[in-house]
Amino acid sequence: RKEVEQDPGPFNVPEGATVAFNCTYSNSASQSFFWYRQDCRKEPKLLMSVYSSGNEDGRFTAQLNRASQYISLLIRDSKLSDSATYLCVVGGMNSGYSTLTFGKGTMLLVSP
Amino acid sequence: DADVTQTPRNRITKTGKRIMLECSQTKGHDRMYWYRQDPGLGLRLIYYSFDVKDINKGEISDGYSVSRQAQAKFSLSLESAIPNQTALYFCATSDLRKSGNEQFFGPGTRLTVL
């Protein structure tokens, strides 16, 4: 089983749509969870951290279900500028050190 | 602005050549990382360092070496480049006390090995 799994997409949605991405992780001892955004040929940038209680940042809502080892990202009122690849990222311990494991990403294409 | 920079941004080289990729940061972070990204494979960790002179192998360290002689610099070397090392390489930094596990990425180096 892959450590962090995401549907690669692409998800094609019109402007204004609501879209949801899901992610599962295999390491039950994982301690930190993030969504990163990566534009084509650019570096990944943190979109938001994900907390057990769920958290919201404007049009973006992230949820974590530790029991099911499942993370989600909801984007409301999609904008053209939301077109990007969204990386699910899980942090855990590796030989005593904390490292991040990245999913392969889900591509979102928002059209006019 | 505190930043993570990488040099060169693009490099084309031939099989068997030695290549060094440089990463510098002005964030004052203690932890630094090297990743490679390939289409369909996502980001994979090559090496990481949690302090000067601290070096740890990542998922795919074979064929690579690193050096962390100063807190602000972390260099990646390909001793004898081969075509399957053609990829986009990212350096990243983090600091547990300042920003938890969040990693900040440099702009990337696109390496092509012919």
- The predicted-structure confidence for A40-96, as pLDDT tens digits, reads as follows 989 999 999 998 888 999 999 999 999 999 999 999 999 999 999 999 999 986 655
State the pLDDT at residue A53. 86
Local confidence band at B4 (pLDDT 50, 70, 90 cut-offs): very high
Predicted local distance difference test score (pLDDT) of residue A111? 97
Mean pLDDT, rounded, for B68-91: 96
For residue A30, the chain B residues in CB contact (below 8 A) are: none
Q: Locate A79 and state its tokens.
A: 């904008």
Please name the residues in contact with B35: beta carbons below 8 A apart, sequence gap of 6 or more. A102, B43, B44, B45, B46, B58, B89, B90, B91, B92
Least confident of A24-28, B97-101, B108-112: B97-101
Residue of A nearest to B42 (CA): A104
Residues A60 and A58: their CA atoms lie apart, in Å, by 6
Q: What is the pLDDT of residue A41?
A: 85
pLDDT digits (tens, 9 = 90+) for B15-55: 999 999 999 999 999 999 999 999 888 899 999 999 998 99
Report the Cα B97 to chain-centroid distance in Å: 22
Cis omega (within 30 of 0) on the bond before B107?
Answer: no
Give the separation between CA A20 and CA A54, rounded to whole angstroms.
Answer: 14
DSSP string computed for B69-104 = EETTEEEEEESS--GGG-EEEEEEEE-HHHHTT--E
The pLDDT score that the predictor gives to residue B112 is 97
pLDDT > 70? residue B72: yes
Q: In chain A, which residue's Cα lies nearest the Cα of B33?
A: A99
Q: What is the pLDDT of residue B1?
A: 59
Interface mutation vs chain A, best among B31, B34, B43, most A CBs within 10 Å: B43
Per cent of chain B over pLDDT 70 is 98
State the average pLDDT over residues B49-75: 94
- If one compares B36 and B59, the residue with the highest pLDDT of the two is B36
Say if CB A14 and CB A76 are below 8 A apart. Answer: no
A98, A99, A104 ranked by CB distance to B45: nearest: A99
By Cβ distance, the residue of A8, A44, A97 closest to B105 is A44
Residue B93 in contact with residue B104, Cβ under 8 Å?
Answer: yes
Instruction: Give me the residue label for tokens 């992610």.
Output: A23
Between CA A45 and CA B78 the distance in angstroms is: 26
Of B50, B105, B108, the CB nearest to A97: B50
A98 near A38, Cβ under 8 Å? Answer: no
Tokens of A33: 């969870």
Confidence grade of residue B2 (pLDDT, cut at 50, 70, 90): low
